[in-house]
Structure 1
Amino acid sequence: MKVTRDNEIAPQRSLLFKITTNLTFWVLLAILAGVLLGHYHPKEGMQMEIIGKGFISIIKVFIAPIIFLTIVLGISGMGDLKKVGRIGIKSLLYFEVVTTFALAIGVAVAYIIQPGKINRTGLDVQDPSKYTGQAQAFSWLKFFMDNLTLQVLIVAIITGIIVNYLKNREAVISVLYKCSKYVFIALKWVMYLAPLGAFGGMAYTIGKFGLHTLLPLGKLMLTVYITMAVFIFLILGSILRYYKMSIWKFIKYIKEELLIVLGTSSSEAALPNLMEKLEKMGCSRAVVGLVVPTGYSFNLDGTSIYLSMSVIFLAQLYDVHLSLTEILTIIGLLMITSKGAAGVTGSGFIVLASTLTAIGKIPVEGLAFLLGVDKFMSEARALTNFIGNGVATIVISKSEKEFVAIEPVLEEQP
């Protein structure tokens, strides 16, 4: 009898141990705690901002070395520079096609649901002039100078090409590989702080903006989230299904990283982990090192949906009729300017202000209505961008025959 009871209790203890030692469990618990603190004690919740920002700041320290090392190792490991160029061109083409789809879907859904037909009273409208002033100063040169990721990306590509021509190429690659290994080990230890980052981010967000202030713009938020969900499961899901893979299984595979993105509202926080997991599932180091960092600057599916939907939302808010030509102009402008909406704080509003100014029919002051809920929609943008970059890496790996499945984690069942 005693043996039977021990046999029954042992699996329960094992399950409890597995749950309580799982990082996902603690991140979820931290997010819930942050929401509760921010809602019931907003003042204390807002003070938690330093914890969330502190975690992201630590993670950002790893971004540059990881991008540099993975790209240099990827290019030098390929040897064939023609192959590097082919992957780069193929990636950029894929990014442009998919983000254009995202822009078009954002416009279409905004016209179908009409989120701008809402009551505008009771909003804490802030002065948007600081954004309109910046819109005139926006330039690709300024974007490049402010975007560390893009700078590291270019330096890494040049370095990778140079390493390819060195006589002691193998020795240099060996040293770089060891450096990469130690960087990822350090990152693994830092990730144990993820629950703290998630707690701080959620407590600050709920504490500052509250839940009741979101009611007037709830329709816009709901529309954005629904649209991004449709994009992920319909568009990205169909792309993966073409390669006989499952979007559901991919999301489950990166669930811990997605929870970190959700809690911190930043895809940067989980970017290094995504690169490591993509390699573990079968994508080659070379493709991961080239596609993921590039996609972080140019493959912004969630941001594209948000930008196009926001323009239509403001047009509806002010009852401005847009012709088909003007709608196509908006999509064309955002196809280019949306590529500058990553890595620079406030650049999303700068892109919107630039687009509204170019159209000349929608009041730029309308950006004030987006300020109150922009933080809450940033989670949806970050999650969609994050998943989109993972899918892009799998697609390029598959098309280049650089995918060797270590475990059948994503394959669709026949």
Structure 2
Amino acid sequence: MNTKLSIRPILTNLTFWVLVAIVSGIALGHFAPNTAVKMEIAGKGFIEIIKIFIAPIIFLTIVLGISGMGNLKKVGRIGAKALLYFEIVSTLALAIGVVVAYIFRPGKIDKSGLAIGDAAKYTGASADFSWWAFFLSNVTLQVLTAAILVGILLNYIRHREAVVRILERASVFVFGALKYVMYLAPIGAFGGMAFTIGKFGLATLIPLGKLMLCVYATMAVFIFFVLGAILRYYRISIWQLLLYIKEELLIVLGTSSSEAALPSIMRKLEKMGCSKPVVGLVVPTGYSFNLDGTSIYLSMAVIFLAQLYNVHLNFLEILSIIGILMVTSKGAAGVTGSGFIVLASTLTAIHKIPVEGLAFLLGVDKFMSEARAITNLIGNSVATIVVSLSEKDFTEPDFGQESREFAN
């Protein structure tokens, strides 16, 4: 009887099934790669379903948050604090990536036997960065802008309460539907992982193993030391946060997309103690402006390619690269593969490192996208906590029983 009682919670836990799906996907990709590649539709299908919820959740959360603030000056204050935090931390991530790449020199490898293909075709559409084009192509930013405007206008209309009640009912319906969609998370995780292993295999990673090791290690150091230090300043443990959002981290690991976890991470941060207005503004904005993992990857990849082609970069050129990446990295939304496209744009803007070097990264970009997405998700969670605390709009944090026991 006791055994059944102890097993039942595990079998009904979504985290357990997501983990089983990831392990199963790896096994299928290794032993039956041809079949595993066909599972791509499951991973992509899950992400596409989740994307349906992104716009309405962002819109409803922000509109209800702003309309409930009362003090419109607070909206601008939160936005200014968030953008300042984003720029400081993401720039720090870029600098750390450059420093680590120069210390460990992952690009200094034997190039014999490695064929460099023409990767220029991957840069055509994104060669010239434009803020206007970025805005027009980024639905998240468009919805974010519209929601802010509607939220502000709601404070001035006569029947504000009636409109808010309708929006609140719509919010309950959307989150209720999302709850059932999340039961499909193991299927999405299985499809994404099976395709990755089946398509690329492990043998192709040997020439770029050093780069991958450096990227993963740097992101781990960034999470536990940089983000950990920021949370420690506010007397919050990074381990508590990671345990609290473990389901979202596993979903991101399986799908390689931080967007897949956006709706649920917003709900969890509210439950944890962050105010709804802060969550509604900071999290969606962070998906475009606070991509710490993508920043680390982009800076390390650029230096890696420079080392690969023996391109010498002086100090001013390195500063220029960081400056360019500060702009182009803002175009890397939380969609799988977007970081690779932004890297192509950055190399084209630099005009010194051969764009053809992108062919080297084609085989491993997918494997590093998981690390990027996970770091981005954690970074945005920390940003939301920091801004909420700075607004003195943060209730006593509730991480759940498991994380409290770990911390103790």
| Shorter-normalised TM range | over 0.9
SS in structure 1 at match of 2:312:
coil
Q: Per-residue deviation at 1:161?
A: 0.7
Matches within 5 A, 1:156-305: 156-305=147-296
8 Å contact from structure 2 (residues 258, 334) kept in 1? no
Out of 96, 106, 121, the residue aligned to residue 97 of structure 2 is 106
- Contact 1:341 1:348 survives alignment (8 Å): yes
Report how far residue 356 of structure 1 moved: 2.3
* Distance 1:71-1:136 versus aligned 2 partners, 3 A rule: same
Distance of 2:114 and 2:155 partners within structure 1: 57
Structure 1 residues 339-348 or 273-282, which shifts more? Answer: 339-348
Aligned length: 405
Q: CA RMSD in A?
A: 1.7
Q: TM-score, normalised by structure 2?
A: 0.95
Hey, what's the Cα distance between the residues in 2 that align with 1:246 and 1:309?
28
Give runs of ≥4 in structure 1 deviating > 6 Å.
410-414
Pairwise mapping of residues 61-210 of structure 1 onto structure 2 (< 5 A)?
61-121=52-112, 126-210=117-201
C-alpha deviation, 1:170, in angstroms: 1.6
Which residue pairs with 2:320 in the alignment? 329
Instruction: Sort the Cα spacing of 1:343 and 1:389 in 2 relative to 1 into closer, same or farther, 3 A.
Output: closer
Specify whether residues 325 and 54 from structure 1 end up closer, same or farther in structure 2 by C-alpha distance, changes over 3 A only: same
Displacement of 1:121: 4.9
Q: Deviations over 1:213-240 (max 9, x none)?
A: 1111111111100000000001100000
Deviation of 1:402 after TM superposition, in Å, equals: 0.8
Instruction: Give unmatched runs, 5+ long, in structure 1.
Output: 1-8
Answer yes or no: is the 8 Å Cα contact 2:257–2:335 preserved in 1.
no
Residue number in structure 1 paired with 2:330: 339
Q: CA deviation at 1:407?
A: 2.6
Q: Distance in 2 between matches of 1:262 and 1:125?
A: 29
Give how far 1:324 is off.
0.8
Cα 1:413/1:215, change in 2 over 3 Å: closer
Give the partner amino acid of 1:35.
I
- Are positions 1:40 and 2:36 aligned together? no
Letter in 2 for 1:23: L
CA distance in 1, matches of 2:115, 2:70: 57
Is there any run of 5+ residues in structure 2 with no aligned partner, and where?
none
Contact 2:93 2:296 in 1 (8 A): yes
Matched position secondary structure for 1:372: coil
Query: For the structure 1 residues 129 and 324, does the alpha-carbon distance in structure 2 shift closer, same or farther, using more than 3 Å as the test?
Result: same
Contact 1:131 1:349 in 2 (8 A): no
- More displaced stretch, 203-212 vs 351-360: 351-360
The residue matched to 2:123 in structure 1 has which SS? helix
Contact 2:43 2:192 in 1 (8 A): yes
Name the counterpart of 1:6.
none
TM-score, length of structure 1 as denominator length: 0.94
Cα deviation per residue 1:244-285 (whole Å; 9 max; x = unaligned)?
001011000000110000000000111100000000011111
Return the letter of the residue paired with 1:286. P
2:9 is equivalent to residue 13 of structure 1: no
SS in 2 for 1:306: helix
Aligned equivalents of 1:216 and 1:249: distance in 2? 37
> Alpha carbons of 1:372 and 1:226: their partners in 2 closer, same or farther (altered >3 Å)?
same
Percent of aligned positions that are identical:
71
Letter in 1 for 2:208: L
Kept in 1: contact 2:212–2:368 (CA 8 A)? yes
- 1:123·1:213 contact (CA, 8 Å) conserved in 2? no
Contact 2:239 2:407 in 1 (8 A): no
Tell me how far apart the structure 2 counterparts of residues 343 and 202 of structure 1 sit (CA, whole Å).
Answer: 18
